Amino acid sequence: MTLTTWYFEMRDRVGLNPAKAPAEPVSLVRAEIPSTAFSRFLYTAVGGDWNWTDRLVWSEAEWRAYLERPGVETWVGYVRGTPIGFAELDGTSPHEVELAYFGLLPDFIGRGFGGHLLTEAIAKAWTLHTRWPAIESPQRVWGHTCTDDSPVALRNYESRGFRVYRTEES
């Protein structure tokens, strides 16, 4: 079976097209203390249905080394105290921030949270340099999705203002 991967980018923060607010208030909170257990939980809970497997083999040391890099941030969406999804930002490359991971926990898919959470995550990506003084202002925010991800993922990214710049098939 062919796997298609789409790489997308936004080159200016004014290109962000915000989603409408969901019916219930969502708070987006940065997990400022790196926690390998919490990050592993988010990764497996969100990615379990979408064949996210690359980090399943990571050791505790590999998780910690990644999470403690300056410019890596985990943002968690909460509704009434319950985590609904997360975004992981990686601002370690000059002038860009990768939306390394993004998604919702299964119980919250289809309830109007995805577009809003993505809007907030993109806004945080554009301001990552304000939280990390050694990191320069980004000139692009980018990420990727594939046919193993949610069937609405690419549409959500494009609706927020991302543009596909490369497609790969394997």
User: Could you tell me the two tokens for 136?
Assistant: 């320069």
pLDDT of residue 151: 86
Which residues are 143's β-sheet partners? 8, 99
Task: Find where tokens 């009434």 sit.
Answer: 80
Q: Is residue 117 part of a domain?
A: yes
Give the whole-angstrom CA distance, residue 47 versus residue 106: 9
Q: Indicate if the pLDDT at residue 146 is higher than 90.
A: yes
pLDDT of residue 73: 98
Residue 1's pLDDT band (cuts 50, 70, 90)? confident
55 located within any domain: yes
Q: Is residue 1 part of a domain?
A: no
Percentage helix, strand, coil for the chain under 3-state DSSP, each rounded to 5:
30, 30, 40
In a domain, 87, yes or no: yes
Instruction: State the pLDDT at residue 85.
Output: 98
Q: Is residue 115 part of a domain?
A: yes
Q: Indicate the pLDDT class of residue 51, thresholds 50, 70 and 90.
A: confident
- 131: CATH: 3.40.630.30
Q: Which two tokens stand for residue 115?
A: 């577009």
The average pLDDT across 52-58 equals 93
Q: What whole-number percentage of the chain has pLDDT above 70?
A: 100
Answer whether residue 26 is part of any domain: yes
Decide if 95 contacts 141 (C-beta within 8 A).
Answer: no
Q: What is the mean pLDDT of residues 56-80?
A: 97
Is the model's pLDDT at 90 over the cut of 90? yes
Mean pLDDT of 62-66: 97
- Could you tell me if residue 2 is inside a domain? no
CB 43 within 8 Å of CB 57: no
Q: How many domains does the chain have?
A: 1
Amino acid occupying residue 154:
L
Helix locations, the chain, DSSP H: 36-47, 60-67, 114-126, 128-131, 153-159
In which region does residue 115 sit, left (phi positive, over 0), alpha (psi from -120 to 50) or beta (all else)?
alpha
DSSP 28-46: EEE--S--HHHHHHHHHHH
Question: For position 153, what pLDDT does the model report?
Answer: 93
Instruction: Name the residue range of residue 139's domain.
Output: 7-169
Select from 35, 45, 21 the least CA-distant residue to 104. Answer: 45
**57 found inside a domain:** yes
What is the tens place of the pLDDT at every residue in 9-36?
999 999 999 999 999 999 999 999 999 9
Mean pLDDT of the chain: 96
User: Does the pLDDT at position 77 exceed 90?
Assistant: yes
Predicted confidence (pLDDT) per residue in 41-50, tens digit: 999 999 999 9
pLDDT at 106 over 90: yes
Q: Which residue has the tokens 């046919």?
A: 147
